[in-house]
Amino acid sequence: MTRAEFPELGDVIQDAEFPDLDLALRRGRHVDRDDVAWYALLTDGQDHLEAFYRRYGCELVHKPDGYYYLLPTGDKLSRRQLAPGDMLVGQTLALLYLDPSAIERGGRVASEDVVAQLVAVLGSDALIAAFHPKRKRHDERVAQKAVRARVGEAVRRLAGLGFVDLADGDQLRLRAALLRFAEPVRGLSAPAEALAKLVAQGEVALAPDDDAPGDHDDEFDEAEPGHESPIDDSGDNAGDDPGDEPSA
Amino acid sequence: MKSSRNPERVLAGVAARGLKLDLGTVDLCFLVALYVRGETANLTSFTESQLEDVFAQASDAVQPEADQLRRRATHAIQRLRDQRLLARVDGQGVVRTGEFALSRLATGIVEFFLEEDVLTRESLTLLTTSLATALAGVLESARTASDDTRGTDDAWRDRVVGPLQITIGELVAGIERRQRGLDLQQEDFQAEIRRLLEADWFGAIDRCQDLLASTSATLHELNQVLLRDTSVLLGLLQEIEALAISAGAAEAEVTSHRVMDQVDRIATWGAARQRAWSDYFQYVHRYLRDVVRLDPTRALTQRLRDQLAGNGARFALTCAGATPMRILRTVAPLRERPPVVRPRAPREREPATEAGEDPQAVLEGKVQRALDGGATALSTVTTEVTAELAGPDRQGDRFVEAGRVAHTVAQLARATGELERPWVAVGDDLVIEDWTLGASKP
């Protein structure tokens, strides 16, 4: 997998794309074929880079669906788990990715489609409850608005991690890395068994039963009518600058 | 092609005239039927009975069970006439039954709906070849007009501008119309791929790939033809433009430039579609490979849906989470600020008694010195004492001081005066009645 012009690791590191790619991977970015230059560098220097990142206690994972990401297995590089809200939105986007209707538009969907899909699967009440776990009574209009805001924030964070591209207007472009959200149910084995295997590999972490999307959004419970809830950091750095876009 | 129309004025005109179109399916079918009948029977106009016949045909297609055909035909004809889609062309009024023809608006509407031309390699090659031939002819005419020194304006207009505007314009419009047709066809392909996958998930792969391959091949061929032929067309147009510039034929220059813009647009369309289709092609191929082939029974969607609905344990993906590198800003040295203190000594001073100066005593001293100096007239004393107050800005002070001097002189010396005392100037800005002064009073 290492092309002739990269006989040594030093040659990979000398590549002009490497610094940005390295920073992006370390910040959790998933790199797929649409990131033309980065993907080519990863593919051509894969052997060297796998050994390189292993020294940092990380696995450079390459999925057959056509994307790379860095998975910390030791303590040298910090790791994080996606927030429950991001997981909910990520699985919804994966569902849209599998839907043939998205193919008509070349994998483009509107933000409204994401909320519509969430409503279709969970139902309005369950969706609002998922983002309002502590609140017993709420204004319906405010709650719906807040859910839309939460979904929008989650989409932006997932875009930073390379799961979607934010296109013009209200459009999103779905990317292959979304299939990672479907990993526990992709194989022929039972989902629980597959999930246990993924947990053992460090790919996923099990969330406590009472860990609902809104548990991380204390401000949300206090939201007054007409007040936009602040951005949910969810105690992690998912929203931090995930790195520059690759030059195609 | 730039328009010199002012959009605000045009819109205001349309709004003021209250223009609108209101056409139902029956009306559109009626128009289409008239257009087709005219084409097949080579008719340029229709009699009233022909209109009713055609309406019956259109009504049959849309509302086969509707009755009162004649009455509805009358209303339909009136609606079309009101909207200027059908015009009476015989000019006979009530003398006899009329003859009607489709207006330009109606023809345009019908042609839009009947438009089925799609760009193919054959049609594009034919059109670009015709275009090149026509342009070569125009170029020859331009050369002739350029050589001809007499009546060049007419020659340029008739042989160059006219053909460029009409023949060439129509050919270019023909290509653009077919491009739009191909755009629509591609949209249909994309919808068709979706329908095929929804109908027969795994079984649709081959059919989808065939559709993708055929469209890609068509676009590739078109792009190649466009790249090759547009450079030839632009070369011819540039020659025409250069001749027009050198002959000073402004209209021909502008027209050839406009046609060049259109040809550029055609070439740009090809490249843009090729890129867009390339992205779509890759996306669908990946989808077929990564999603459809790996999930032939389409179970993944349902299992993912169940997972999302909350069946099973909740989990969270693990990602690398290195914090961004800290870039320290340049530290500027802090400016030392003196501590805030209160002065120990009292701010206010105790009042002290100071001997003042009596202005009248000072004045008396000055007057006495003047008298002792030998002054024998009030004017002399006044001049001497008020010399310090000279100047235009102190004129008022000097006037007041002159009064005080006179008062003091009267106290210190004996003054005598004639009945008519003379007025004597004291400096440039003051005149006083003069006194003669004697010895000082004891």
B4-20 burial, b at 16+ Cβ within 10 Å, e below that, comes to: eeeeeeeeeeeeeeeee
What is the rounded CA–CA span in Å between residue A103 and residue B292? 12
Mutate to test the interface with B, among A34, A79, A103 (most CBs of B within 10 A): A103
Average pLDDT, chain B: 84
User: Is a pLDDT exceeding 90 seen at residue A94?
Assistant: yes
User: Is a pLDDT exceeding 70 seen at residue A205?
Assistant: yes
Q: Do B320 and A27 lie within an 8 Å CB cutoff?
A: yes
Helix (H) or strand (E) holding B281: helix B250-286
Structure tokens of A105?
Answer: 């538009």
User: Is a pLDDT exceeding 80 seen at residue B348?
Assistant: yes
Helix (H) or strand (E) holding B202: none
Q: Give pLDDT, residue B1.
A: 44
Task: Answer whether B211's CB lies under 8 Å from B106's CB.
Answer: no
B322: closest chain A residue by CA:
A27
Coil, helix or strand at residue B4: coil
Q: Give pLDDT, residue A137.
A: 64
Helix (H) or strand (E) holding B87: strand B86-88
Task: Answer whether B127's CB lies under 8 Å from B171's CB.
Answer: yes
B247-260: pLDDT as tens digits: 888 888 898 988 89
B12-27: pLDDT as tens digits: 888 888 888 888 888 9
Q: Do A192 and B317 lie within an 8 Å CB cutoff?
A: no
What is the rounded CA–CA span in Å between residue A99 and residue B194? 9
Task: Answer whether B318's CB lies under 8 Å from A61's CB.
Answer: no
Residues of chain B positioned with their CB less than 8 A from the CB of A205: 315-316, 318
Greater confidence (A89 vs B120) lies with A89
Q: How confident is the model at residue A234 (pLDDT cuts 50, 70, 90)?
A: very low
- Domains of chain B are 8-114 (1.10.10.10), 121-298 (1.20.58.590), 359-440 (no CATH)
Q: How confident is the model at residue A124 (pLDDT cuts 50, 70, 90)?
A: confident
Residues of chain B positioned with their CB less than 8 A from the CB of A25: 320
- Domains of chain A are 3-72 (1.10.10.2250), 84-220 (1.10.10.2260)
Whether ipTM exceeds 0.85 = no
Task: Answer whether A231's CB lies under 8 Å from A23's CB.
Answer: no
Distance from CA of B174 to the nearest CA of A (A): 28
What is the rounded CA–CA span in Å between residue A181 and residue B346? 79
Is pTM beyond 0.95 here?
no
Structure tokens of B58?
Answer: 């259109």
Mutate to test the interface with B, among A78, A98, A124, A195 (most CBs of B within 10 A): A98
What is the rounded CA–CA span in Å between residue A242 and residue A69? 13
Structure tokens of B367?
Answer: 């007057």
Structure tokens of B229?
Answer: 């032929």
Q: Which of residues 227-246 of A touch B (CB under 8 A)?
A: 236-238, 240-241
What is the rounded CA–CA span in Å between residue B132 and residue B129? 5
Greater confidence (B427 vs B140) lies with B140
Sheet strand arrangement including B315-320: A79-81, B315-320, A204-206
Greater confidence (A49 vs B265) lies with A49
A128-179: pLDDT as tens digits: 888 776 666 667 788 888 889 999 999 999 999 999 999 887 899 999 999 9
User: Is a pLDDT exceeding 60 seen at residue A224?
Assistant: no
Residues of chain A positioned with their CB less than 8 A from the CB of B282: 33
For residue B431, CA distances in Å to A208, B321, B388, B416, B436 come to: 111, 100, 17, 18, 16
Helix (H) or strand (E) holding B132: helix B121-147
HSE at residue B398, side-chain half, CA atoms within 13 A, is 21
Q: B91: phi > 0 → left, psi -120 to 50 → alpha, else beta; which? A: left
DSSP label of A168: S
Mean pLDDT, residues B157-185: 81
Q: Does B327 touch chain A (CB under 8 A)?
A: no
Distance from CA of B40 to the nearest CA of A (A): 39
Mutate to test the interface with A, among B284, B293, B306, B308 (most CBs of A within 10 A): B308
Mean pLDDT, residues B373-390: 87
What is the rounded CA–CA span in Å between residue B393 and residue B389? 9
What is the rounded CA–CA span in Å between residue B178 and residue B172? 10
Q: Does B199 touch chain A (CB under 8 A)?
A: no
State the distance between the two ends of chain A, measured CA to CA, in whole angstroms.
21
What is the rounded CA–CA span in Å between residue B373 and residue B423? 23
Q: How many other CB atoms are found less than 10 A from the CB of residue A9?
A: 15
Q: Give pLDDT, residue B211.
A: 84
**DSSP for A73-97, written as a single string:** -SSSS-EEE--HHHHHHHHHHHHHH
